[in-house]
Amino acid sequence: MKLNRQGFLKAGAAASIGFPGIVRARGLNEKLQVGFVAVGGKAKTHTLECHNQGLQCVAFADVDERTWGGVLDKEGWSGAAGYTDWREVFSKHGKEIDVVFVATPDHSHFAPSMTAVSMGIHCYTEKPLTWSVREAQLLTQAYEKNKDVVTQMGNHGHAMEGWRVAYELVKGGAIGDVKEFHTWTNRPVWPQGGDKPDYTSPVPGYLNWDAWLGSAAFREYVGPNEHSPRAKDGTPRGPYHPWNWRGFVDFGSGALGDMACHTTDGIYALMNPGYAETAQPLEMNGKVRDQYPAGMVVKNTYRATQERPGFATYWYEGKDKKGKAYMPETPEELIKDGSKLPRTGNLIVGSKGKMLVQGDYWNSPRIIPEAKRREFGRPEKLLERSPGHHAEFLMACRGEKPREFSQSNFSYSGPMTANIQLGNLCARAGKKLVLNEAGEITSDPKINELAWREPRKGWGPLKSIA
């Protein structure tokens, strides 16, 4: 997991990458030319936002041709070139595109994102930034090397008010030195805890299954059957595409990957923690098989710095064997107020008090109990507010703001994602991991092999077309 160019080449992924790539220099009055890697599902948010902000779509890719109307039906975009293979967007249109949005399943984030950054194309990638620890580190390194590229990870809560208020409360001394963060989620809300499906299905004509697999090892397609869960409209969902891939180790990152980039975002914004010192699975409802377990509790510890003491984080997801949700105990401060913990949120334990953050996006942070909140009052405003997650990214892409104005850039979101994926890594290893300050596992160096997966032949990052 070394953050050096030599290590990247040894991993076999960078032989096709050229640095730096194309340098974009469009005027502020020119339309940004945009490409999309995925246009269905969450990607609809990005196509709509870009259309509303006046970007021009040049090309897009989605493995499922049923989703293509998300681009082609928009006024002025009907001439965009559509593909089922993301590689064609870059190989055929790389010199035309200024910015690309990547919103594929987790296992397919790294290759198109690294391709974009290496070619000098501004890149917005959905959360979690990458499927593995090492991929996150490599994207961080690539972003820091190519100074012309603007990046953003899709944790839109980072542009909201909540964590900023929490930051101002902590810096104002409301709870003293932070000792612990307890973060819990109502996920998974997809199948998790199982093994590989015991049947296969014909690939439907609208789906490019090879492109959907991308960098992951080949396996046969499996579609819905009579036992499959159904979407809200009654449509049966297969084990993989769409949505249910999240629980599978080869494709998704479980509840941690889906939600921790939102629910733990404030931890990284407040604490600037660096890499974890340890990552440990405290409880697991079953072993990691083809899917992640149905529930688990993970503890990370972080080193002290000159600015703050060391601290610990606790992550709770899913349910135990009795069907009880993994959550922290309700603190006495809430019991005193006649309240209980929300179904998702954060409890921050300090040396002089506690703070509760409700919801997935650091909504409504408040000191508890209520009497202490009223006594402390409102904190001093210390941080600039964001114009919006897409807005700050596109303003930086246009050159209206410096590239760091896009605040969940890969220098911030890369280490965050690496730490989050350490939780899944220690679950897969089934034991406590100890790391050095560079993010290398020292307690059992063999586990470093699990931090990286060699892409399936032909599905790694592409060469720069500069």
Domain ranges of the chain: 5-157+388-409
Distances (CA, A) of 272 to 88, 303, 329, 401: 38, 11, 27, 23
Distance from C-alpha of 52 to C-alpha of 294, rounded to nearest angstrom: 40
Distance from C-alpha of 433 to C-alpha of 443, rounded to nearest angstrom: 6
State pLDDT tens for residues 256-278: 999 999 999 999 999 999 999 99
State pLDDT tens for residues 383-414: 999 999 999 999 999 999 999 999 999 999 99
Q: What is the pLDDT of residue 137?
A: 94
State pLDDT tens for residues 38-58: 999 999 999 999 999 999 999
The answer to whether residues 261 and 128 touch, using CB atoms and an 8 Å cutoff, is: yes
Q: What is the pLDDT of residue 14?
A: 37
Q: What is the pLDDT of residue 233?
A: 81
Q: Which of residues 122 and 231 earns the better pLDDT score? A: 122
- Residue 181 φ then ψ, to 5°: -120, 130
Question: What average pLDDT does this structure show over 7-30?
Answer: 41
Nearest-5° Cα angle at 261, 362 to 215: 165
Q: What is the pLDDT of residue 289?
A: 96
State pLDDT tens for residues 198-209: 999 999 999 999
Distance from C-alpha of 294 to C-alpha of 117, rounded to nearest angstrom: 36
pLDDT surpasses 80 at 20: no
How many other C-beta atoms can be found within 10 angstroms of the C-beta atom of residue 374? 9
Q: What is the pLDDT of residue 408?
A: 98
How many other C-beta atoms can be found within 10 angstroms of the C-beta atom of residue 386? 18
Q: What is the pLDDT of residue 228?
A: 79
Q: What is the pLDDT of residue 32?
A: 97
Question: Looking at the domain covering 5-157+388-409, what would its CATH class be?
Answer: alpha beta
Q: What is the pLDDT of residue 448?
A: 87
State pLDDT tens for residues 21-31: 444 444 444 79
Q: What is the pLDDT of residue 191?
A: 92
Q: Give first-to-last CA distance, the chain, whole Å.
A: 29
State pLDDT tens for residues 170-198: 999 999 999 999 999 999 999 999 999 99
pLDDT surpasses 60 at 9: no
**Is residue 252 packed enough to be buried (19+ CB in 10 Å), middle (13-18) or exposed (0-12)?**
buried
Q: How many Å is the maximal CA-CA distance in the chain?
A: 64
Mean pLDDT, the chain, whole residue set: 92
State pLDDT tens for residues 318-367: 999 999 999 999 999 999 999 999 999 999 999 999 999 999 999 899 99
Distance from C-alpha of 223 to C-alpha of 99, rounded to nearest angstrom: 34
Q: What is the pLDDT of residue 237?
A: 85
Distance from C-alpha of 129 to C-alpha of 110, rounded to nearest angstrom: 8
Strand-pair partners of 433: 279
Percent of the chain at pLDDT above 70? Answer: 93
Pairing of strands 345-350, 354-358: antiparallel
Structure tokens at 15: 């032989």
Distance from C-alpha of 233 to C-alpha of 243, rounded to nearest angstrom: 14
Q: What is the pLDDT of residue 222?
A: 97
The answer to whether residues 65 and 75 touch, using CB atoms and an 8 Å cutoff, is: no
Distance from C-alpha of 119 to C-alpha of 465, rounded to nearest angstrom: 7
Q: What is the pLDDT of residue 10?
A: 31
Q: Among 181-185, 192-196, 215-219, 235-239, whose mean pLDDT is lowest?
A: 235-239
Distance from C-alpha of 413 to C-alpha of 127, rounded to nearest angstrom: 9
| HEC secondary structure over the chain | CCCCHHHHHHHCCCCCCCCCCCCCCCCCCCCCEEEEECCCCCHHHHHHHHHHCCCEEEEEECCEHHHCHHHHCCCCCCCCEEECCHHHHHHHHCCCCCEEEECCCHHHCHHHHHHHHHCCCEEEECCCCCCCHHHHHHHHHHHHHCCCCCEEECCHHHHCCHHHHHHHHHHCCCCCCEEEEEEECCCCCCCCCCCCCCCCCCCCCCECHHHHHCCCCCCCCCCCCCCCCECCCCCECCCCCCCHHHHECCCCCHHHHHHHHHHCHHHHHHHCCCCCCEEEEEEECCCCCCECCCEEEEEEEECCCCCCCCEEEEEEEEECCCCCECCCCCCHHHHHCCCCCCCCEEEEEECCCEEEEECCCCEEEEEECHHHHHHHCCCCCCCCCCCCHHHHHHHHHHCCCCHHHCCCCHHHHHHHHHHHHHHHHHHHHCCCEEECCCCCECCCHHHHHHHCCCCCCCCCCCCCCC
The answer to whether residues 423 and 280 touch, using CB atoms and an 8 Å cutoff, is: no
Say which amino acid occupies 270. Answer: L
